[in-house]
Amino acid sequence: MNKILFIITSFSRGGGAESLLARIVRHLNPNKYDISIIEILHDDIRIEEVPSYIKVLPYIMRADDPKRKEKMYYVYHEPWRVFDKYIGDNFDLYIAFNYMRPVLLLPKGKKCISWQHGDIYNLLEDRLSEERALEDAALYNVKKIISASDNTTQSVMDVHPSHKNKIVTIYNGIDIETARKKAAQSTDIRLKLPSILFIGRIEDNKNPIRLLEVFELLHEKRADAHLYYMGYGNLEENLKEEIGKKKLNDYVHLLGYQENPFPIIEQCDVVCLLSKSEGFPMCLLESVALDKPFVATNIGGAETLSNSHTCGKVIETDKEAVDALIHFIEMDKEKTKQMCRKSIVRFDFDKYISKIEKIFDEVLEEN
């Protein structure tokens, strides 16, 4: 049995990468792989559920560690020290499940994979030139780079052109039946209709303020519409302030972080995500799995998932976003359901796992 270690920035913040990793390890063949997970930064927001046979190793540091900056220095500049102290060389395959920090901890002379979830164009910024160089050097330790979307693939090719021949694109998958079962569970939250739902961290990259501005324009045409933010983040206070300034308190609602988002997604009319960049957001897959269309910027996977814009719209301008949101609010729900189901079947989780295991086995079998 092959021993596999996933290295992730955090496995305790309730984010999309954490949730996806938990789903993946639950479905990987336990008769083929002895699986362990280690996180660099530990938080207390959400403990991901994994089977008892999955080993979650002691974390490297807490997110609120007063010596975090000092410890993080070693991750960037002397990663072998961190590797020797916390990880060790007794695994057959090492997988960095984010870009940057997990990649830096991949060992030389071992079989390694870098799994990139979002686009990495930010590494082209002058202020991140050192980080870009460090990751580029670390990628010489990997056999394959798994990319979650077309956007991510292109960004890795542009930022690290010398490693482009290692890239394999595997679109994220979703366990459709599990999502629908979780959606059937009870919740005390009841959305007012018609409703638009934002899912994710309330932070700059997700562009929550832009969504509010789009909703203000939409509200002029559909005064009965409501906007819901489901998540937490460092822009919450800014968002509340802007909601008050626009006098939209009765129509814009902050739900906070929800342990089970599925019963809430199932109630909405349309999911909207206007992020500046993304790999392939799980929230879009989840919405379509629950027969809900989406409106999104041109982020990873959105164009493909939209299935020629039948169950989603990729937009550029605020006006396009307003028109698309109204379109899906007013669209016949049965037709929307049919279009969503036609699209989501392509992202079946069993097929997704088969592709992942094939890549793992190829790397493990290499000399």
62 and 156 co-located in one domain: yes
- Give per-residue pLDDT as tens, 119-131: 899 999 999 999 9
| pLDDT at residue 251, as a whole number | 98
pLDDT at 91: 98
- Range of the structural domain that residue 38 is part of: 2-173+349-365
pLDDT at 17: 86
Distance in angstroms between the alpha carbons of the first and the last residue of the chain: 17
Q: Are residues 137 and 200 in the same domain?
A: no
CA distance 82 to 74: 7
**pLDDT score at 119:** 87
- Is the confidence at residue 367, as pLDDT, over 80? no
Q: Phi and psi dihedrals of 312, rounded to 5?
A: -170, 160
The residues pairing with 320 across neighbouring beta strands, listed in sequence order, are none
Region of residue 168 (phi > 0: left; psi between -120 and 50: alpha; otherwise: beta): beta
302 pLDDT above the threshold of 90: yes
Q: Looking at the predicted structure, is the pLDDT value of residue 36 above 80?
A: yes
233 and 126 together in one domain: no
Query: Three-state DSSP class for 331?
Result: coil
pLDDT at 252 over 90: yes
Residue-wise pLDDT for 137-162, tens only, equals 999 999 999 999 888 999 999 999 99
Distances (CA, A) of 348 to 35, 248, 342: 23, 39, 11
pLDDT of amino acid 70: 92
Asked whether residue 334 carries a pLDDT value surpassing 80, the answer given is: yes
User: Which pLDDT score is estimated for 214?
Assistant: 98
Q: Are residues 219 and 339 in the same domain?
A: yes
Both 70 and 140 in a single domain?
A: yes
Q: Are 105 and 166 in a shared domain?
A: yes
Q: Among 80-84, 129-133, 274-278, 361-365, whose mean pLDDT is lowest?
A: 274-278
pLDDT tier, 47 (very low <50, low <70, confident <90, very high otherwise): confident
Is there a single domain that holds both residue 161 and residue 144?
yes
- The residues facing 195 across adjacent strands are 226
Mean pLDDT of the chain: 95
Task: Give me the CATH number covering residue 290.
Answer: 3.40.50.2000
11 shares its domain with 158 = yes
Give the 3-state secondary structure of residue 361: helix
What confidence category does residue 366 fall into, taking pLDDT thresholds of 50, 70 and 90?
Answer: confident
Report H helices in 96-149.
101-104, 129-138
- Complete DSSP assignment for 248-301: -TTTEEE----S--HHHHTT-SEEEE--S--SS-HHHHHHHHTT--EEE-S-TT
Q: Give me the percent of the chain exceeding a pLDDT of 70.
A: 100
> Do 262 and 357 belong together in one domain?
no
Model pLDDT, residue 340 = 97
Q: Is the pLDDT of residue 356 over 80?
A: yes
Cβ 352 vs Cβ 172: under 8 Å: yes
23 and 161 belong to one structural domain: yes
Instruction: Please give the helix or strand (H or E) that residue 210 lies within, else none.
Output: helix 208-219
Q: In 10 A of CB 15, how many CB atoms?
A: 23
CA angle, 272 then 8 then 124, to 5°:
65
Could you report the per-residue pLDDT of 67-79, keeping only the tens digit for each? 999 999 999 999 9
pTM of the predicted structure, to 2 decimals: 0.82
Strand partners, 270: 196
pLDDT-based confidence at residue 206 (cuts at 50, 70, 90): very high
Q: Could you report the per-residue pLDDT of 10-27, keeping only the tens digit for each?
A: 999 887 789 889 999 999
Confidence of residue 300 (pLDDT cuts 50, 70, 90): confident
Q: Please check whether residues 158 and 34 belong to one and the same domain.
A: yes
Q: How far apart are CA 43 and CA 7, in angstroms?
A: 15
Domain tally for the chain? 2
For residue 45, what pLDDT is reported? 83
Same domain, yes or no, for 334 and 195?
yes
Check pLDDT > 90 for residue 279. no
- 208-219 vs 318-330: helix crossing angle, rounded to 10: 60
What's residue 13's pLDDT? 85
Taking residues 332-349, what's their average pLDDT?
95
